[in-house]
Structures are given as structure tokens and as C-alpha cells.
Chain A
Amino acid sequence: MTPAPNAEMSGSQTSGSQTLIALVENRPGVLNRVTTLLRRRHFDLLTLSMGRSEDPDRSRLTLTVGGGSAGARRVADHLIKLVEVLHVEPLFDQPAVRRDLALIKIRPDAAELPAVNALCSAFRARIVDVSPGSTIVEITGEQSKIERFVALLTPYGLAELARSECVAMCRGASGFGASDHSVGQTTSQTTSQTTSSTSPNPTS
């Protein structure tokens, strides 16, 4: 991707990952539309998570993208042009909760289980399945915490790893859509006509 060649931009403006939240219409094909846009514009998509929101008609996406704050701004400005994307908000430095859920299947020896248990308590992870020869551990937390935890469990025979990737929510009462950075509408549809000067075709 080619960021605007602005000499005054600092490093964090053009590099590092940023989180965005988007509300989209809950319809088939919307995810395809979003990923098609990200691919064709060569945006640096790191993670994408899609699920339900408080409104059954709307799905909520959390994206993390590279390219720093300028990259996040560009992604937001393009996403909001999609008809089915209702609202986009890059989080930038806003206080927010970011969580990733991981299921980790390991194959510890019986003798190693106490050590695994100790690690789990230290990280507030849970053992959710114990079967002959394998154990599944569940953990939620910020990405860096999960990565440290996975690294510590790897010596016990890491067999499988499944991650939800980041979902995020802003802290505080004001919530999604209140920030200066947000684009789009959150709850009620705006009904004012667009500013285009082109009027409907004159009836022939």
C-alpha cells in the first residue's frame, strides 16, 4: 500500500497496527464486500472478526490493520463508502477493551499437568477439556497476553490453536459513535437527501 507521501508524518502515523470497529447490515455477502475492498486497495489487514451486535439487523466487525493511524483513517474512509457499511470508527488512542479468545490443545504428560494448572491460574485461563492424551485450555485477553501464554504452553506439546482474533469495545458511557473520529450513523438512519446537484431524470 502507498501511504500519502507526507514528510511530516511521524512513525506511528504510518506504521503499527490500529483497531477499527464497523457496524454493517446483517446480510449475506457483506463480509465479501468488505474483504474485496480491503484486498483490491492493498490495505494491510491483520485480523478481522465478525459477529452479532446489540441489533439483530446489524453485524459488528472488529478489524486490525497495519499502516498506523493514517492507514486506519484510509481504511475507514473507504469502508464507509460501501452502501451496507453503516458506521466505522478507528479507535486510535481511545481507552478500549480489546480481547482475543484462544482455544489451545496441548498434549502434556500426566507429570506435567500440575505445571500446566499453575500456568493456567497465573494467566486466569481455564482447562475446558481433559481427554486421554490431550487437554484444551481456554484463555481470553489482549493479544500480547495470549501470545505469551501460548509460548509458555508450547513445550507441553502444542497440538492445535484456534483464535477468535480481536474484538473491541470503547470504555465509558459515551460509547461507539461518539468519538470525533467516527464516520457514519449508529442508530437512526439520516433521512436528509444527499447534496448532489443531479436530480432524478426528468420524466419524458
Chain B
Amino acid sequence: MANESTRVSDSARAAGQPEGGRELTGAEIVCACLQREGVDVVFGYPGGAILPTYDALCRSGGIHHVLTRHEQGASHMADGYARSSGRVGVAIATSGPGATNLVTGIATAMMDSSPLVCLTGQVSTTVLGSDAFQEADVLGITMPITKHNVMVTRVEDLAEILHEAFAIARSGRPGPVVVDLPKDVQLARTLYDPDRPLPVVPVKTSMTPLDAEIEAARNLIAEARRPVILAGNGINISGASEQLRRLAEDTGIPVSLTLLGKGAFPEDHPLSLGMMGMHGDAAANLAIQAADLIIALGMRFDDRVTGTLSTYAPKSKKIHVDLDRSEIGKNVAVDVGVVGDLKAVLTRLLVGIAATVDEGWTAQIREWKDHSKTLDVVHQPCDGRLWAARVIRDLCELTDGEAVTVTDVGQHQMFEAQYYTHRRPRTLITSGGLGTMGFGLPAALGAKLAQPHEEVWAIVGDGGFQMTLAELATAVQEQIAVKIAIINNGYLGMVRQWQELFYEERYYATPLANPDFCKIAEAYGVPSVRVSQRRDVAPAVAWCRSVNDGPCLVEFVVESHDVVYPMVPAGAALDEMIRRPARASTMAGVSR
């Protein structure tokens, strides 16, 4: 084969060793490249095989290293950093178990198109493949869950590969890139030229749609009477929320968002339909099933969004715009597929756009939205007990819907999505695709470090929090002022919900014997308060907002027997939702 297992551009290979520059070790080159990429903070955990790079980080200065308590925390923090800022997040781990501990975070980032560069130490090239101490096949393990991965086997290729890793992570549809660094490569020396041109990721597929494709989309929009826009994370990644708002307002077409799309369109806008999907707003799901045109923008028709595919949006033509050609037609056949960057495509589409939305359609949607409000738990009389939905709605009102919220996965996540009104992109950070419990706390720490001026709330369940709660120590050591809201219902709530609805209430392996979370917080040096009455929510939130020198924690002890409504059961059509029982008195019926 032509080369060692490295990937460098043809020009770099032809050039051989870089000309000019200083002689540096591989570890020093890593630091120089990170600085050249503008990296200000990295998240990691040291160990033998990555120690040369840690020593170089120590000596180089300029890059802040956040010591996590587990490598999974490092990859989630880098992910939270990336999602809140749009910049590339960097995680560092040693070989073997260090690298394998990153895996869940890498897969989480891959599913939600988040740009990461993960640097992993590796045993020296001289012992590769010999089952050396702390050796693991990191390339093989991470190949299916990365956008790209590479092992550097020659120090001469290191700078080019690292810069290419950043370019790949952030270009096109973003994603995680793993760079595996054998110890001897970190120690070897070569000339480093800090002024070498940065590598460019070649564009292999056309990202510039034809005029005819744009025109076809515009024509379908002009002909539609009952259209609906479905917007996803692609809008946030592309920075196209302004173009989306113009499209909605210029045409009068209502907008529904995916979970990861939240923030792409202001949810208090008159044309907002709310979230779609399994726990989406009923109005959104009903509209999708009745629509005559679906305009899908930067979303991927995930199964949690569509329900059963065979009955999905049966009356509609479909336009699908996405940067990733492989998403077009993957799950749902479309009439017009447009491959391109959302901002550029929408800017072109807006020229001469016109639509004639039926007045009856607008009225029908209003009626659906009004009906949903009558069923909504937050519009029912307060019975004194603490419902998770009310906690989230109160938090939203008390923070004016302006906080950055980072959730874990489960019922509290869906309550957040339903009851926290987001208006700006990148203000909800949540693991949508992989559904990773344990994501919330570390991702919130990364988000706060990326956007220190933002008020960042980690909203976590009692189950997921315990998966990564050791990162409380990281928050304290780094004095990261995140506000942690534990929605404690004493159960793995979402699993409990499925057991209640579909497994004849056999609550097996879901009740949690929890520790005293406030004492845990105290042990870590985190101030905390426990709330179990509705009237105590506002004072607790106000207190939390006054703590600005480090983390603080509120434990909300909420009703255990609660269900996220509406719910589209597995195998059902999107409009076959289980709705919240109509009367307040039945709330007691739910609470057995």
C-alpha cells in the first residue's frame, strides 16, 4: 500500500518534510495545531500513552484543560461546548480504557451532527497489535461512530492530519473525528512550519442546487393549500433561522420543529406549531397528517418524528432540503429533493416566493392548538402537588425563556421540550438521536464554558444524573456556574411510562432507591436546595439565579406517577395519539 496508515493531501506528501519552521516534538505540534485552530479549552483525562501531549499542554500555555472525572464526561462536555457555540469541541483521553470511555460521547455527537475532535493516546507503533498494556483498537471501535478517524504513524504527517481533522469535523454536515496518537509519534521530532496553508476538505458532491430544483420547490409551495414547514437541526447548524422566519412570514405557512430543531423558529411566534413527533404537540402531528405539502428543512424523518412510515403524512407532497444527499428519500419518499446548505437554499427559494394558504387550514390549526391548551396540565387547577411539567413551565417563565437549557434523556427531557419556550438557536442542548442518559450534566458544563455570558441550566432526571454525577467535582474545580435542576420522581420515568401503558403496570427495574441528592451536593461543595411544593419553585429558582461563582443544585421532588402526553405509541400513525385525560379530577386517577 502507498503509505503508512495516515491521510495527508497529495501536496503534503509530495512536499515530504515541512520546509522551514522549528523542530518540535509531536506533542508540541499537537499544542501548536490546537492553538492555530483557535481552541481555547479542551476536556480530558490523562494517562500513560497521552502523557507527552499533556506535558506539552502544560508547557505551552494558552489552552485551558478541564480535568473531567470520567472520559465520557470529556466527550459530552466537548459536545456541549460544540453545540452551544458552533465551534469544534476537543476531548482528550489516553489509550485503551480512556479511549473506550469516550465512545458513548462520540456516538452521541455523530447522531446529532456535532463537530468534535477527539485525541486519543495509543501505544507506540513498535508494539501496536501486540496486546500491549492499555492497547485497544480505537480506530476499529470508533470507525462506525465517527465522521472520520485516523491514526498518525509518522510525526511528519501530524500537523496536516490534525488540521484536516478540524476541517472535516466542521465542514458540511458536522461530526466527530478521532485522531489516534501513538506515544512514539508524540515523542518524535520534526520540523513544524506554523505558516503552512491549512488543508481544505474537498467538496465531492454538488452542494449547489440547480435553478430547476429551487423552481420546482417554489411551484409546489405556490400550489399548496394546506402546507406545513418541518424544521430541524440543519437550520441551527446552517445559521438559517432568519431565512426560515422569512419563509414562514412571507407565505403564512406554519412551522413545526423537531426536538433538535428547537430554537430554529421562535416558539411564541403566531405561526409556531410546536414540536412534532412521538411527544410532539397534537396540533403539529394533526397538521402533518392532514397537510397537502410538507416542506422538510434540515431534518431527517427520524422514527420518533414520523411514527409508522406507511401512514405518515399520507395526503402530502414533500419537499426535502438537506445538506446530506443520503438523507433525501432515506425514510420518506419525496417529490422534490434539494441538496444544499439551508441558508443558501432558503435565500434563493425566498426570491419570488408566494403561497395561498387556505383560510380554513389556518382556522383548523388554531382550533387544534386551542384544544391542546384545554388538556394541558399547566392550564388545570393547581392541586398543590408538584408536577414536572409545571416545574419546567415555571422555570421558563422565571427565566423569560432566555436560558440555555441542557437536558438529559427521559420524561424530563420531553417536558422540557414541551414546556420551555425557546426563541434562539443553540439554546436547547439535548441528546436527540442517540438518547444518551448521562449527557445532561457534562454537556451543560461544556456549554457554559463555551458561552460564559449565558445562563445555563442542566435539567436532569434522577436516573441520568447518577450516570455522570461525578462531574459535579469538575464543576466545582473549574467553578463553572451551571444551575442543576434534578427532576426527581424516584423512577426511570420514561421506562415506567411504557410499563404503565404497554406492559400492564409491571414496574420492574424502574423504581430507584436514590441517595439524598442535597447531601451529595454538599459533599461535593455544591450549594443546594430541595423543593417539593409548587410554592417553593420560584424562590428556589431565584436563589439559583443569584449563585454566580460556581455550580448550584435544586432537587425538585415531583409526582412519581406521571405520563408525558401526548404520546404516539410505537407502531401507530402520527395522529393516533394518547392524549392527557380531559378533566383535572382524572389527574388523581393517573396518580395511583
Contacts and interface: CB of A to CB of B under 8 A. Distances in A.
Interface residues on A, range: 35 or more
B87 A5 contact: no
B325 A77 contact: yes
Contact of B205 (A28, A33, A184, A192): A184
A27 B200 contact: no
Given A81-B326, A190-B202, A202-B38, A40 B144 contact: yes
A27 B3 contact: yes
Nearest to A30: B1
B39 interface: yes
B38 A197 contact: no
**A6, A200, A202: which has the most chain B beta carbons within 10 Å?**
A200
Interface string B2-37: 111111011000000000000000000000000101
A114 interface: no
Interface in B231-250: 237-239
Contact of B330 (A8, A74, A183, A197): A74
B298 interface: no
Nearest to B309: A5
Interface residues on B, range: 35 or more
Contacts of B3: 27
Interface in A173-195: 183-185, 189-195
B203 A192 contact: yes
A198 B333 contact: no
A80 B205 contact: yes
B144 A196 contact: no
**B3, B140, B326: which has the most chain A beta carbons within 10 Å?**
B326
A194 B203 contact: yes
A26 B204 contact: no
Nearest to A198: B170
Contacts of B38: 200-204
Interface string A117-157: 00000000000000000000000000000000000000000
B148 interface: yes
B421 to A, nearest CB: 25
Interface string B97-121: 0000000000000000001000000
B341 A197 contact: yes
A81 B174 CA distance: 12
Interface of B: 1-7, 9-10, 35, 37-40, 62, 86-88, 115, 139-140, 143-144, 147-148, 166, 168, 170-172, 174, 198, 200-205, 207-208, 237-239, 309-310, 323-326, 328-333, 340-341, 343-344
Interface of A: 2, 4-9, 25-29, 32-33, 36-37, 40, 56-57, 70, 74, 77-78, 80-84, 86-87, 183-185, 189-198, 200-204
